Structure 1
Amino acid sequence: MVGRLRAPTGRYGGKSAAQRQAERRLRFLAAALQLFGDAPGFRATTVAALSEAAGLSTRQFYEEFRTLEDVLAALHLQVNGWAERAVLDAVAEAGALPLAERVTALFRAYAASVTADPRRVRITFVEIIGVSPRLEEQRLARRSHWVDLICAEADAAAARGEAAPRDYRIAATAFIGSVNGLLHDWSAGWVEATLDEVVDELVRQLLSILRPPGWKPASA
């Protein structure tokens, strides 16, 4: 299949073509979250199986997507988008808190979103790995985006005298690796701890980066 089929236009059942298309897309993504994020997984799912799970036809699939890889790419972005929205909402709510409390609030929001459904964890940390150069580029781009977010928050804290002034990019990249690895291992049952304990450990790691030994906040 070289490209998507042309979707029908016009109103039907009181809904526009764009509304119907958006609903179909969401149904395919919901079905993909189940099949890719649980059993049988992305590599063992067929277009026919995904369409059946969505309650739609294969023709409707090809009106929305070209390949199953396109679905996985969209789902990966959707799951990351949910987590980012949770973090940004936490940033807005915790802006006036002291640094340690603010960092804790942000990571609780991220962890709560990603681990709210085990299927989200699998999409974020497992199914996306090694599929294709295109998806690897997307995965690394999303990781870079999280690094940018951490650097922005760290720079803002440094400007307020709450954190040491430095270039945080390398440290933030290493920290994101710790976040991904620990949350994946915890969700897989390889780490015996509560989610709160996992978040507390990540917060301690980040605070040690923001406030290295010997450095004191401006208020001190």
Structure 2
Amino acid sequence: MAGRLKAPTGRYGGKTAEERQAERRRRFLDAALQLFGDTPGYRNTTVAALSEAAGLSTRQFYEEFRTLEDVLAALHLQVNDWAEQAVLAAVGDAADLPLVDRVAAIFRAYAADVTGDPRRVRITFVEIIGVSPRLEEQRLARRARWVELLCAEANAAVARGEAAPRDYRLPATAFIGAVNGLLHDWSAGWVEATLEEAVEELVRQLLAILRPVGWRPGA
């Protein structure tokens, strides 16, 4: 389809056109979280099935999106935004804690948000993979955003004298890959450990990056 259909304007049922559009979009994304993140998955979902699950028509779908890939792209960003909000809230709450406690609090917040709903794990680590060059670019861009956030926290720890000064971009990139891999495997049941044990392992790995052997605070 060349473009989206024109959405109706004006007030109806006490809601503006913008409010109705936002509600329709939310319903489509809620339905997509269920269908893409569970059964039958993104590749086996049709526009008709998604519209039915949302309680809307296919015409309304094309008023909001061009393709199902657009829905997956929006949902992937939303799931990442939820996780980022949880992390930023934890960063603020743990600002005055020692490094070890601060890192643990941040990772617990991230892990709890991502793994609290298995559908979010599947959207983040499974369904987004290999769909198209466009979504691969989006996935890598969001990963880069997580790397930048981790580098910012590492550099803040350096400024406090809690971590070794270095360029953290490469180790942060490697560490984010480890986080994604471990949490995906844990959620899939391939890792025999509790979530707390998985988080503790990630915390140990990050602390080893921030405080390499031989380095001491204030050295």
Rounded to whole Å, the distance in 1 between the matches of 2:4 and 2:147 is 34
Name the Cα RMSD after superposition. 0.6
Shift of the alpha carbon at 1:25?
0.3
Shift of the alpha carbon at 1:103?
0.3
Shift of the alpha carbon at 1:2?
1.1
2:188 equivalent to 1:188: yes
What is the one-letter code of the residue matched to 1:185? D
List alignment gaps of at least 5 residues for structure 1. none
Query: Which position in structure 2 is the counterpart of 1:84?
Result: 84
Alignment of 1:1-220 (within 5 A): 1-218=1-218
% same residue: 82
- Deviation per CA, 1:133-163, whole angstroms, max 9, x where unpaired? 0000000000000000000000010011000
- Deviation per CA, 1:161-203, whole angstroms, max 9, x where unpaired? 0000000000000000000000000000000111000000000
After superposing on structure 2, the runs of 4+ consecutive aligned residues of structure 1 that deviate more than 3 Å are none
- Deviation per CA, 1:14-72, whole angstroms, max 9, x where unpaired? 00000000000000000000000000000000000000000000000000000000000
Equivalences, count? 219
What is the one-letter code of the residue matched to 1:18? E
Rounded to whole Å, the distance in 1 between the matches of 2:56 and 2:126 is 27
What is the one-letter code of the residue matched to 1:156? A
- Deviation per CA, 1:63-100, whole angstroms, max 9, x where unpaired? 00000000000000000000000000000100000000
List alignment gaps of at least 5 residues for structure 2. none
Instruction: Give the match's secondary structure for 1:216.
Output: coil
TM-score, scaled relative to structure 2: 0.99
TM-score, scaled relative to structure 1: 0.99
Rounded to whole Å, the distance in 1 between the matches of 2:17 and 2:67 is 22
Instruction: Give the match's secondary structure for 2:126.
Output: helix
